Amino acid sequence: MLEVEGLTKFFGGLEAVSGVSMSMKPEEIVGLIGPNGAGKTTLFNLVSGVLRPTKGRVIFEGTDITAQKPHHIAKKGIVRTFQATNIYPNFTVLENVVLSCHLKPGVGLLETVLHTAGSRRKEKDILHRSRTILTLVGLDRMADVLARTLAHGYKRILGIAIALAAEPKLLLLDEPLGGMNGEEVSETMGLIRRLWQSGITILLIEHNMRATMNLCQRIVVLNLGRKIAEGSPAEIQGNSEVIRAYLGAG
């Protein structure tokens, strides 16, 4: 489904990502781990088109999408979440999701300006779909709350809901569990597992090792921009190079 071939990114003289190759099969759930500064988020930015790679290719469902614009890549079905600005703070929770639903074609911009019957019907469908997504992630009771007033954990979940509304085939989650408390972690893990079971392919960056090992079928480890290991959670836990990357040379 996704083929990353020799992806390299220089920031000036700094090699943030260095010749990383990896692939994902449909309906797989893969974890991307590594110490801080390993190049995980840069890899996400390269795949999702936010950054242009210095070298290498990204192929999605057989087509080369290297260095395409982010919104084109999103339309093809790769949707990513962000660590920081992951919601629209001044919109209600419902509006946050409604906005992403607008992507699906059907009503032209002029029609929405003229407020035609067709566009009103379509808006109703979108509202219905948005509420369904909020129910799925468990934010339905907070639909009319301003997003910036949400608790941190709910903000992160809303970030996932925004991505879901864009109907991803491949979902890139950037630290979905970051800053969450224990209960929120287990709820969000449940959500990620349900999304995966519903057929969405997932690549996830996460520092919470127990959660990553628990959720993912396969793990890719980056360190200093290079891929140093790849394998099942059990293999990774026993890999001496991975242990060295995390604990320092021993």
Stretch that binds another protein, among 18-26, 162-170, 180-188, 211-219 (CB under 8 A): 162-170
Q: 113, 117, 247, 249: which one contacts another protein (CB under 8 A)? A: 113
Between 36 and 85, CB nearer to another protein: 85
Q: Does 98 bind another protein (CB under 8 A)?
A: yes
Instruction: Report residue 80: phi and psi, to 5°.
Output: -120, 155
Q: Does 166 bind another protein (CB under 8 A)?
A: yes
Q: Does 46 bind another protein (CB under 8 A)?
A: no
Q: What angle do CA 188, 210, 183 make, to 5 degrees?
A: 35
Stretch that binds another protein, among 14-22, 100-108, 136-144, 180-188 (CB under 8 A): 100-108
Q: What angle do CA 59, 63, 67 make, to 5 degrees?
A: 60
Stretch that binds another protein, among 16-24, 158-166, 220-228, 240-248 (CB under 8 A): 158-166
Q: How far is the CB of 113 from another protein (least distance, A)?
A: 5
Q: How far is the CB of 25 from another protein (least distance, A)?
A: 23
Q: Does 35 bind another protein (CB under 8 A)?
A: no
Q: How far is the CB of 129 from another protein (least distance, A)?
A: 14
Q: Interface residues for another protein in 57-96 (CB under 8 A)?
A: 69-71, 74-75, 79-82, 85-91, 95
Rounded distance, CA 59 to CA 173, Å? 19
Rounded distance, CA 203 to CA 216, Å? 9
Rounded distance, CA 191 to CA 138, Å? 9
Between 1 and 146, CB nearer to another protein: 146
Between 134 and 229, CB nearer to another protein: 134
Q: How far is the CB of 55 from another protein (least distance, A)?
A: 23
Q: Does 28 bind another protein (CB under 8 A)?
A: no
Q: 1, 59, 99, 243: which one contacts another protein (CB under 8 A)? A: 99
Q: Does 52 bind another protein (CB under 8 A)?
A: no
Q: Does 114 bind another protein (CB under 8 A)?
A: yes
Rounded distance, CA 100 to CA 93, Å? 12
Residues contributing to the site for another protein (CB under 8 A): 48, 50, 69-71, 74-75, 79-82, 85-91, 95, 98-100, 102-103, 107, 109, 112-115, 162-163, 165-166
